[in-house]
């Protein structure tokens, strides 16, 4: 069962903001406040019958009027239009992305060139080792043959 609606009021000095909701935290949320305005005395529960009647007709909606007046209440316009498209990226953001992509591409090409150079050096080292090994195997075979002749 939903709680009983209460009407809460706060003011910025120029405008009174009124909302009908079930609790103080929900009123603070409707006002967009991250500070406990009730604790500081900047907000309170309304007891004016006309105010209560107008606010309870639109529960959860923030209504406003000039501060301290008996003027009619108006619905608070949201700071963002409801059908507004999100702003696209700025030219600076697009330029930064393009610059970073170019730097990444250059770094990838440099790394590929270094790896190719390392592969070439490795192949040369393996070939040099293979030649030296072949010479050592031939020398070892000749030495073993000499040892075998000496035993016989």
- Domain co-membership, 70 together with 20: yes
Render pLDDT for 76-108 as a digit per residue (tens, 0 to 9): 555 455 566 667 888 999 999 999 999 999 999
Number of domains in the chain: 2
pLDDT value at residue 128? 97
The answer to whether 86 touches 44, Cβ cutoff 8 Å, is no
Q: Of 64, 87, 83, 85, nearest to 74 (Cα)?
A: 64
- Domain co-membership, 14 together with 70: yes
The reply to whether 82 falls in a domain is: no
111, β-bridge pairs: none
pLDDT value at residue 106? 97
The answer to whether 27 touches 21, Cβ cutoff 8 Å, is yes
Domain end call among 24, 40, 75: 75
Domain span at 61: 6-75
The reply to whether 64 falls in a domain is: yes
- Domain co-membership, 13 together with 52: yes
Render pLDDT for 99-144 as a digit per residue (tens, 0 to 9): 999 999 999 999 999 999 999 999 999 999 999 999 999 999 999 9
Render pLDDT for 4-55 as a digit per residue (tens, 0 to 9): 888 898 888 788 888 989 888 988 888 888 888 888 888 888 888 888 888 8
> What span, in angstroms and rounded, lies between the C-alpha atoms of 12 and 76?
14
Q: Is 20 exposed, middle or buried (0-12, 13-18, 19+ CB in 10 A)?
A: buried
């Amino acid at each position: 069962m939903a709680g009983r609606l209460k009407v809460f009021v706060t003011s910025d000095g120029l405008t009174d903001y009124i909302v009908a909701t079930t609790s103080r935290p929900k009123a603070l949320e409707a006002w967009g406040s991250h500070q406990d305005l009730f604790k500081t005395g900047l907000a309170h529960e309304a007891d004016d019958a006309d105010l209560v009647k107008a606010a309870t007709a639109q529960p959860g909606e923030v209504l406003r009027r000039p501060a301290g007046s008996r003027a009619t209440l108006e619905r608070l316009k949201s700071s963002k239009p409801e059908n507004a498209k999100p702003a696209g990226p700025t030219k600076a953001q697009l330029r930064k992305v393009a610059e970073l992509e170019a730097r990444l591409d250059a770094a990838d090409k440099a790394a590929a060139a270094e790896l190719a150079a390392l592969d070439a050096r490795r192949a040369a080292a393996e070939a040099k080792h293979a030649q030296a090994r072949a010479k050592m195997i031939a020398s070892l075979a000749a030495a073993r043959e000499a040892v075998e002749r000496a035993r016989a």
